Amino acid sequence: MIKHIVSALLLGIVAGYLNSNWGSIDAGFWVSDYMFNGALIALLFVMGLVFGLDKESVGKMRKTGLKILVIPLAVASGSIVGGAASALALGLDVVKTMAVTAGYGWYTLAGPLVGQLFGAHWGALGFVVNFLRELLTIVTISLTARIDKYVPIALGGATTMDTTLPVIVRYCGSDSLIAAFSSGFTLSIIAPFTIIAVAALR
């Protein structure tokens, strides 16, 4: 199945590239906005339905409760500390690199925001690092899901509430739904704040 997912991703990239160069803006908007959001909303509904129908999942969620929030907090700290460590290893600016990794995979946010704060080069890094995070989470799902359901959730960061959520649920089962969605949701909310807060350290 991962073959189908990766093929769909690659086909989409090629189609999007061709369309943006020689196609129509309307068609592009239709696919990357209406089609994307339609599929996402349908998937979230179906995933919710499957979760609600599963007696075990609901019970597990009750047992876990608010403890589940340690996951996004650990992902946030890990991303920012990891960013600092990589800056030291590469000899880059520590604060700027931490701002890049504080996007948690939300590249449409991190790219423009970091670019606005630190200029075009850092904006490009913000784009690419976070874009690769989403891409890597999808591409490696069949391997990481075998280790533990929290590994893809940690990798996915903020994307586990939308783009990588159906892929994670498909591989890790319905009981990963709430952990993944709440982690992605929390990280999406705090991403703009943490990017700006980290940038303010300078």
Partner 1 sequence: MILTDCSVRAGAGFVIDLRMLYLVVPLVIGILLGYLLRERRKVDLGKVSLGVIIVLIFSLGFGIGSNGELLKSLPEVGLDAVVILVFALGFSVVLVWAARKLVRLE
Closest CB 172 distance from partner 1, rounded Å: 10
| 3-state class (DSSP) for residue 164 | coil
Among residues 99, 127, 141, 199, which is the contact residue for partner 1, using CB under 8 A?
Answer: 127
Contact of 144 with 62, CB cutoff 8 Å? no
If one asks whether residue 161 binds partner 1 (CB under 8 A), the answer comes out as yes
**Cβ nearer to partner 1, comparing 142 with 150:** 150
Closest CB 83 distance from partner 1, rounded Å: 5
Structure tokens at 159: 């994307």
> How many residues contact partner 1, by CB under 8 A?
102
If one asks whether residue 145 binds partner 1 (CB under 8 A), the answer comes out as no
If one asks whether residue 143 binds partner 1 (CB under 8 A), the answer comes out as no
If one asks whether residue 114 binds partner 1 (CB under 8 A), the answer comes out as no
Closest CB 51 distance from partner 1, rounded Å: 6
Binding to partner 1, residues 182-201 (CB under 8 A): 185, 188-189, 192-193, 196
Binding to partner 1, residues 47-86 (CB under 8 A): 47-55, 58, 64, 67-68, 70-71, 73-75, 77-79, 81-83, 85-86
Question: What span, in angstroms and rounded, lies between the C-alpha atoms of 105 and 128?
Answer: 9
Q: Which residues contact 83 (CB under 8 A, 6 or more apart)?
A: 97, 98, 99, 100, 101, 102
If one asks whether residue 176 binds partner 1 (CB under 8 A), the answer comes out as no
Closest CB 70 distance from partner 1, rounded Å: 4
